[in-house]
Each structure stands twice: as structure tokens, then as C-alpha cells.
Chains A and B, each alone.
Chain A
């Protein structure tokens, strides 16, 4: 179905709710003197959007707004994931000491706008739309990163993010212009048809264009060699924003990456495996990128002394794991990747919530601030952080283990044995730095200068929910995997 502007609107309700939320916050911010309720309004908008995604009637798939966006079950999965990330980020913002003194109206309006942009990224069906959505996410992220206007680290992070982002997206549109020149179209579906027409395909030009495009999309998921911004930005940004970038922005990046590299330039063969364009060897390139990403992330994380920075490198490594599902070129792999992104959302957001709880009370983010955390009033956060870090390592009984299990199963079924070995070695290495904070919290005595961790019902609630989800989905994961399974269909035109 190719829907026009008005007919598209009924499939666009979750996005419209977010936009309405943005407008409402901007207007109320002007009208009222007490800004403390704006966060709650943003939370309601994000939750309502999530609800609207869940209540929307099932549809085989359609193009919206004259083939600018595509609405299919794959988009629903990522909309859900991104909306969940937004809910967590807003919840954390309300409970954060850092953003309490910022301009509340602008902060929540931009956060919701960013969520809206990520939705668009996951639904793009056109290179122009993909670029606009990606840049929309980037611009809002720069502002949110530098939101602590008098904090040097926050500003420096924003500047670095801006420079890397500008170069990456510029390089990406340069690559897109070549694809446009070769195929004569910006529409993913037309590009696919043009590229698969046998004949004079300029293989080298297509390959270079894809590498250039990968720069922009790889930068969004923070894969090597475009990961350099991530540690600095994650460290400098306010913790709720770090969480939002780590789970939301990364999920949106993966959505766009998958949508471009699978339905737009590859073909689905029988048995759920994808074939790349003949002669254009991007899967091999991505295989290397995937292995380098996880190795680099894990090795760099080993020597970190700041928790946010440690989690930043860990999230780079986690992106590498998720890419494992990408490079095997099969629906098995994509399903494993979808599941892993959900698992990553639960455990990584949880870890950042604990970091925020500790930072709220002590004002510190370094690993030393966790010394003897369990023995100075923080036994609950210490236990929760242990669960999240175990899950990030991939220890059984957690959702992270199930995610890794599906990934490695897909990799071995695709006979990528070297990749499997590299992945397992990486998991072993990661055990060291994930265990370090745990050892610090339980087996070291507090020195007395760390301060106590106070009880905050609001943040403890979120932490509890995420910790329970980590365990529950580690034991009973079939709802998520069947959701991922349903989300494997890409709409590529009426059949």
C-alpha cells in the first residue's frame, strides 16, 4: 500500500502523540511558573506513545507519506524499544540531581523530539528521510549532551559529539549521492531494483559508496572505527542522556543500518538467508568491523576508572556483539540481534540507573566511589548493579545470557567459527572489568570518605523493575523472542 499524507496519519499516532507532547511542554513552559511538573507531562507523552504502538492494529505493511516512511512489523519492534528507552530516560531525568537545575521545558521538549526523530530513523524508506532523521537525532543529541551549560565536561562532550557527528553524516550523504547517481533514485525499493538489474553495475563505486554510508550509520551505533566520540560523550553528558544515547540512539542506528543493508541493497533468498550484491563485499568488511569493535571496546574498558566511561566502552563492545547477528546475513541473525538489543536495553539502562543513584548521593562517578557500597547503606543498588553487570557479561539466569546464546547460535549455524571464537574470548575478557566494580562493592571495606547512599523511592523503583526484568526475561524469554520473530518482515512493496 502506498498511502498519501492524510491516509498515513492513522498509522502515525505514536509519533503524533510525541509531537503533541513537545508542543504542550513548550507552551506550558511559557505559561506556568512552576516547572516541576513538566517532566511528568513528558513521561505521560512517552508512555502514551508506547501504549499507542501496542494498541495499533496489525497491518501487513504500508508506505506512509508517499513512500517516505515505511510501516511494518520491523518498525513496530524498534518503535517499542525506542519508546521504552525514552520512558526510562525521562524517568531518570525526573529523579536526577544533575538536570534538576536545568531549564526543564527545553530539556523535556528536546528529549521527546529526539525520541520522535529516532522513530523516523527506524521507519525511513528513502535516503533523504534517513538522512533527515539521522541528523534530527544528532542535532537534538548535541544539545542534550551539552545541556549542563556550566559544566566543562558536558560542553566538551557536546563539541566532540558535534564534530564527529558532522563529519560522519557529511561523509554519509556524500556516499548517498553516489548511490543516487548510480541508481537514479533515493527510494530504498527503487534502489534495490536498480542495483539488482543485471548488467553494468559499477561494483567499485557501489562498494565505496556503501563504505561512506557505513560511516554515518556506524557512528550512530558507535562501532569501530567511528566509536571515538562515545567514551567522551557518555562521560560528559548528564546520566539520563547517557542512558538515552546508549540504548535509544544505538537502537535507532541499528534499525537504520538493518533497513538499509538488508531490504534496500540485499535480497532475501529461500530459507531466510540474505544474499548481498554480487561483487560488493560489504559483509566481509562488516565482519572485520564487528570483531574489531568488540575487541577494542573490551580492551579499552579494562583500564577505566570512571563508571560512565567503563560502561561507554562496554556499550561499544555490546554493539560489536549485536553486530554479530548482522554479519551472518540471515533472518536467524537479525532475530538474535533484535533480541540482544532488547536485552542490552534492560541491562545497560539498569546499570546507568545505579550509577545515577550513587552519583545523586555522593556526586561521584569513579569506581572508587563504589568501595564497600554494600556496607554503607547501598546494599540494594549493589545487588542490582551485580545483576546488571552479570547480565552484561552473559552469565546464565540473566537476559544477557539468553541474548548471547541466540547470537552465538546464529553465528555457529552460519559457520562463522572465527567470529564465534573471537566473541567468546571477548566475553571472557569482559568478565574482568565487569567483576571489578562488584569486587569493589562487596569485598572492600569503605574508607569512610565515600559518603552514604540514600534511599530514593523513585529511582529505586525503576532500578527494581529493570533488575526484575533482567532476571525474569532470563528465565522466561519466549515473549520477547516471539516478538522479535514477528518483527522480521520488511515491507518492500505489494506482493
Chain B
């Protein structure tokens, strides 16, 4: 175990990253920026899984979950960027407010 670093340090770090991710999603108007915020949220969960697995003693469930999250984040980014690209071709912008025709 690293000198003086406990589970709580990791949990606080992941909470900070989670909050930053949520803040990014709520404040950004650029589609790519929002997708980056989503990545931050996913990675904050990853830190939690790894920390719990490390301090919880010898179980691989946490690591496996983190690997799957990384893989799915990649898949989601692929689809996200494909949609953003198609949006750009049609709207000539990737600002989510400008690309808004559905309301009510």
C-alpha cells in the first residue's frame, strides 16, 4: 500500500472528477465538449472500481468492470463522433443549441 494514501483519497478524487464531468456536461454547448464530460464521468467510476477492488482485497470484479467501461466508452465515442459528424454535415455546426429544431 502506498505511503499514507488510503481509500478515501481515491474516493474524493473520483468524486471531484465526477463533479467536473457533470459540470462540463451541463455547461458546454459544444457536442464534443459534452462527450468529453461524459468520458470524465465514466473515468471517475473507473477510479472507484479500481480503488474498491484494491482495498477490498483480492477480487478481480472491480478491475474487470473498469476494463469493460473503458471498452464501452470507446464504443460510445465512436457512435458519438459519427453522429456529431453527420450533424456537422447537415447543420454546419456542432453547437447543440444551434442544432435545435425539436422543441415543446
Which chain A residue lies CB-closest to B85? A155
Which of A30-38, A175-183, A345-353, A426-434 makes up part of the contact surface? A175-183
Contacts of A400 in B (CB 8 A): none
Contacts of A162 in B (CB 8 A): 76, 79-80, 83
Among B68, B90, B102, B104, which residue has its beta carbon within 8 angstroms of that of A128? B68
Size of B's binding interface in residues, CB under 8 A: 44
Is A139's CB under 8 angstroms from B76's CB? Answer: yes
Which of A58-66, A142-150, A257-265, A314-322 makes up part of the contact surface? A142-150
A184 contacts the other chain (Cβ, under 8 Å)?
yes
Contact digits for A209-242, partner B, Cβ 8 Å, 1 yes 0 no? 0000000000000000000000110011000000
Binding site secondary structure of chain B: helix
Is A156's CB under 8 angstroms from B86's CB? Answer: no
Contacts of B35 in A (CB 8 A): 163, 166
Contact digits for B18-43, partner A, Cβ 8 Å, 1 yes 0 no? 10011001000001001101100110
- Size bracket, chain A contacts: 35 or more
Among B42, B56, B83, which residue has its beta carbon within 8 angstroms of that of A142? B83
A158 contacts the other chain (Cβ, under 8 Å)?
yes
Among B34, B52, B83, which residue has its beta carbon within 8 angstroms of that of A181? B52
Which chain A residue lies CB-closest to B53? A180
Is B104's CB under 8 angstroms from A171's CB? Answer: no
Contacts of B31 in A (CB 8 A): 159, 163
A355 contacts the other chain (Cβ, under 8 Å)?
no
- Complex Cα gap A152–B101 (Å): 8
Contacts of A170 in B (CB 8 A): 21, 38, 41-42, 45
Contacts of A180 in B (CB 8 A): 48-49, 52, 61-62, 65
- Complex Cα gap A232–B104 (Å): 9
Is A155's CB under 8 angstroms from B86's CB? Answer: yes
- Complex Cα gap A131–B49 (Å): 14
Q: Which of B57-90 contact A (CB under 8 A)?
A: 59, 61-62, 64-65, 68-69, 72, 75-76, 79-80, 83-84, 86-87, 90
- Complex Cα gap A309–B103 (Å): 10
A157 contacts the other chain (Cβ, under 8 Å)?
yes
Sorted nearest first, the 9 A-B pairs with minimum C-beta distance are A170-B41, A177-B48, A166-B38, A181-B52, A174-B45, A173-B45, A232-B102, A158-B83, A177-B45
